[in-house]
Amino acid sequence: MSQMTVNDRPVQFDMAPDTPLLWALRDAANLTGTKYGCGNGDCGACMVIVDGAALRSCLITIAEAEGRFITTIEGLSRDRAHPVQQALVAEQAIQCGFCTPGIVMAAAALLQQNSAPGEAEIKAAVPNLCRCGVYPRLVRAIERAGRVARRQEKISAAPAPGISAEEAAREVPALRPVVRNGGA
Ligand code: FES
Ligand code: FES
């Protein structure tokens, strides 16, 4: 049994201790916003924030996550209005969107440490792979997110396409307090 806090809720995973955190989040907790790309630590699609740092959840076991505070894309911002999310939409730095949750988490962790990162710092902290090649717009978006976080700019963008105002305002789904192997 591995216990941790996920999106501000206590969670226990009754799974093998060497289960990757990514598997537990997606398959047992149904937090499928965190994506499975390579499973090898190369792509960054599985990034979550662990105790304030962006980590690849495919490389951490649930035993290693014991007692730690995990934030997934579902828990980052209830109204999906985190500065990084606003800026990615405003700069149209999303195409298919598969890489986007991991990028959002890496960029959000960066801005928590440094709200005015330069291009080199952004590239170092957000090394995520994007098969659609949004990289130039991504750097612009994260620089802009920093300005929003520093309250130097306000983005008054419409919600992302396909997200109604009601859905944008919905509550983060409650996690079951005990998640058993196989999600039963
Ligand atoms: S799925 Fe974890 S880095 Fe690619
Ligand atoms: S937007 Fe398609 S993989 Fe990045």
| Residue at which a domain ends, from 43, 76, 109 | 76
Residue ending a domain, choose from 76, 102, 124: 76
Check: CB of residue 117 under 8 Å from CB of residue 142.
Answer: yes
pLDDT band at 165 (very low <50, low <70, confident <90, very high): low
Range from 70-84, 96-110, 117-131, 152-166 carrying the lowest mean pLDDT:
152-166
91: alpha, beta or left, given left = phi > 0 and alpha = psi -120 to 50?
alpha
Tell me, yes or no, whether 116 and 63 share the same domain: no
CA 138, 92, 45, 79 dihedral sign is positive
Which ligand has an atom closest to residue 35 CA? 1
Report yes or no on 45 lying in a domain: yes
Q: Is residue 178 part of a domain?
A: no
Helix (H, G, I), strand (E, B) or coil at 41: coil
Q: Is residue 64 part of a domain?
A: yes
Assess whether 72 and 16 both reside in one domain.
yes
Cβ of 82 below 6 Å from ligand 1: no
- Does the Cβ of 54 fall within 6 Å of ligand 1? no
From the CA of 98, which ligand is nearest?
2
Residues 65 and 136 occupy one common structural domain? no
C-alpha 130: how far from chain center = 15
Residue 48 belongs to a domain: yes
Name the band, by pLDDT with cuts 50, 70 and 90, for residue 156. confident
pLDDT in tens, 61-88: 999 999 999 999 999 987 778 999 999 9
- Residue pair 60/21 in contact (Cβ under 8 Å)? The answer is yes
167 Cβ contact list (under 8 Å, min separation 6) = none
How many distinct structural domains can be found in the chain?
Answer: 2
- 90 and 48 inside one domain: no
Which domain range does residue 22 map to?
Answer: 2-76
How high is the pLDDT of residue 170?
60
Asked whether residue 35 is domain-assigned, the answer is yes
Which residue owns the Cα nearest ligand 1 atom 3?
A: 41
Q: CB 151: neighbour CB atoms within 10 A?
A: 9
Cβ neighbours of 171 (radius 10 Å): 6
- Domain presence at residue 172: no
Angle between helices 83-90 and 135-149 (to 10 degrees): 140
Could you say which of 38, 53, 76 is where a domain stops? 76
Are 118 and 62 within 8 A, CB to CB?
no
